[in-house]
Structure 1
Amino acid sequence: MKKMSFAEFGGPEVLRLIDAEEPHAGPGQIRIAVRAAGVNPVDWRIREGQVLGAHPTVLPSGVGIDAAGVVDEVGEGVEGVEAGDHVFGEGSSTYAEFAVLSAWAGVPEGLTFEEAAGYPSVVETALRVIREVGVQSGQTLLVSGASGGVGSAVLQIARGRGIGVIGTAGAGNQDYLRGLGAVATTYGEGWVDRVRRLGRVDAALDLAGSGVIRELVELTGDPRKVISIADLDAPKFGVRFSGVAGSVVEALVEAVLLISRGELRIPVERSYRLAEAAAAHVDSQAGHTRGRRVVVV
């Protein structure tokens, strides 16, 4: 099969499309013929060799953790799914023609494979950081870097729970944030004062890693009310870096429920062919994403 791989840590140029042995489903796993794989910042962070705790990397390594596709192999002990089912979920080395998933759910009605591939780890992360930051109904959550996949999910989930949201993003994404129910403002010079004018901030999330931890602590008044998923230096300010995944199975169940109710929808901004994975990483790393990027197999 064809598979995206890297044999050394580095920039997007280390990615290679190689011929590889097909993986097979072990106990408690399924294998899918991949139709699309989600592009996540964690993918290029792992490729760069960043130490993220939850994702130890042995070289050479495949790329990708999210995917959607058609089940073609069911491991021992697995029930409720069979060959031919359309699923989305999380596994390993998903930038490939075949991948093994360890957590999955049926693709919700009305979603394409490309759309479905963008949800698994994004929804898990969104649910996790909302829980960890401790924001409650009636309070206001500030989301820095709100227009990407995790931000899109956070805004919709938080609003559904009665939490007010302020989102920062580039000028071109202001209407997008408003469409998701957020009070929107731009980042850049003067952004802290712009946020202050919008009202009290009870908790904050750093989703972009753009060097704003000190300011988020200032706005909330408490480093315990700030969570970062993108700035490895966050602990220097007393802020928790949340890089360890929670229950993906539970997140997929929640995602299916929210999508089916029409309460969660994350658009695909751009799709890339498998051979274009390096370009997908370049674009993801540059930021300014609206929704999700996916690799189509």
Structure 2
Amino acid sequence: MTTAQPRTQVMTQHRFGGPEVLTLEERPRPVPAAGEVLVRVRAAGVGPEDGQARSGSAPVYGEPPFTLGRDVSGVVEEVGAEVVGLRAGDEVFGLVDGGGHALHVTAPAGHFAVKPSTLDHVRAAAAPTAMLTAWQALIDIARVGPGTRVLIHAAAGGVGHAAVQLAKAEGAYVIGTARADDHAFLRDLGADELVDDTATDFTTAVHDVEVALDLVGGAYGPRTLGTLRPKGLLVCAVPGDLGLAPEEVEARGMRFAIVQAEPSADRLTKIAALLADDRIRLHVDAALPFAEAAEAHELGEAGGVKGGLVLVMPD
């Protein structure tokens, strides 16, 4: 007599399109391979990259069907062979290669770190992409430090508000672009100077910047070059929409880099320490039930989200 394989639920899609293409389905529960862990997801982030993949504007998962979701927080249910450092029952958060919008997900153990006990799953699920992008841009690439003048575009967004706080934690002087309605929020996070880029041309208001983090793309990259001091660094986190060529930047005496969040247990462990004692406070604009994933996508695409959007899984 064979035992039926346990089942789980996933939010999937069978065609590209708007939020309405997302459907909740039941599937066999995945089994961790060697070096992997099976995580019972408690909360999962919804970011701009999910909407781009869903619509097909950035088909990173190929043709449908597929399951979105990179940012997850949950509990390890099972570990595969050769896994060291994690065990069943550990509460973890991390970055997976898709499939996170599900009740269960498998991924390499090195994609996760132990979640701080002071951080709930909702806020932990908002952390991986935002914090890893900010860390790689500001710490690994730019090496910001005390007094570094840093410009952050879309400063109130998921990555932006994390970057503001990380730069401040390193002692930088932070200038942010954001709507006027978000300025009080960003001042509370430590921003030194703010520009309402919906009403003011930031290129006339901001000068002598050493490091700029572009979280908008398109024309923002070329325009931002005018705010940089000689040999200043422009880091773009919207690689599909640069708006300029690297050689153009170099020809103007500036430096250029592209950043995209990469899984790293080591970085996440360092990030966990910052989150544990509130040196960095991640804001979640809305936490919606898993079944309302389409509504979360609609909120994100409407714009104006402060911090992150998160799906909360049922018990």
Fold match (TM-score > 0.5): yes
Sequence identity, in percent? 32
**Alignment match, 2:252:** none
Superposition map of 1:182-193 within 5 A: 182=191, 183-192=193-202
Deviation at 1:129, TM superposition (A): 1.6
Superposition map of 1:203-282 within 5 A: 203-209=211-217, 211-220=219-228, 225-230=233-238, 232-234=240-242, 236-238=244-246, 242=258, 244-282=260-298
Deviation at 1:57, TM superposition (A): 2.9
**Alignment match, 1:163:** 172
Aligned partners of 1:96 and 1:174: how far apart in 2?
Answer: 35
**Across the two proteins, how many residue pairs are aligned to each other?**
293
**Is residue 134–residue 225 contact of structure 1 (8 Å, CA) maintained in 2?**
no
Aligned partners of 2:130 and 2:245: how far apart in 1?
Answer: 25
**Is residue 120–residue 252 contact of structure 1 (8 Å, CA) maintained in 2?**
yes
**Alignment match, 1:172:** 181
TM-score by length of 2: 0.85
Q: Describe the shift of the 1:142–1:243 C-alpha distance in structure 2 as closer, same or farther (beyond 3 A).
A: closer
Deviation at 1:258, TM superposition (A): 1.0
Helix, strand or coil at the partner of 1:111: coil
Aligned partners of 2:199 and 2:222: how far apart in 1?
Answer: 15
Q: Describe the shift of the 1:252–1:280 C-alpha distance in structure 2 as closer, same or farther (beyond 3 A).
A: same
Deviation at 1:37, TM superposition (A): 0.3
**Is residue 206–residue 227 contact of structure 1 (8 Å, CA) maintained in 2?**
yes
RMSD over aligned Cα atoms: 2.3
Deviation at 1:11, TM superposition (A): 2.1
**Alignment match, 1:93:** 99
5+ long unaligned stretches in structure 1? none
Q: Does 1:195 align with 2:195?
A: no
**Is residue 9–residue 25 contact of structure 2 (8 Å, CA) maintained in 1?**
yes
Q: Which moved more, 1:163-172 or 1:280-289?
A: 280-289
TM-score by length of 1: 0.90
2:171 aligned partner, one-letter code: G
**Alignment match, 1:76:** 81
| Cα distance per residue 1:249-270 (max 9 Å; x no partner) | 2221121121234311102111
**Is residue 4–residue 96 contact of structure 1 (8 Å, CA) maintained in 2?**
yes
Q: Which moved more, 1:75-84 or 1:112-121?
A: 75-84
5+ long unaligned stretches in structure 2? 1-7, 250-255
Q: Which moved more, 1:115-124 or 1:83-92?
A: 83-92
Task: Give 2:30's match in structure 1, choosing from 7, 23, 26.
Answer: 23
**Is residue 94–residue 112 contact of structure 2 (8 Å, CA) maintained in 1?**
yes
Deviation at 1:232, TM superposition (A): 2.6
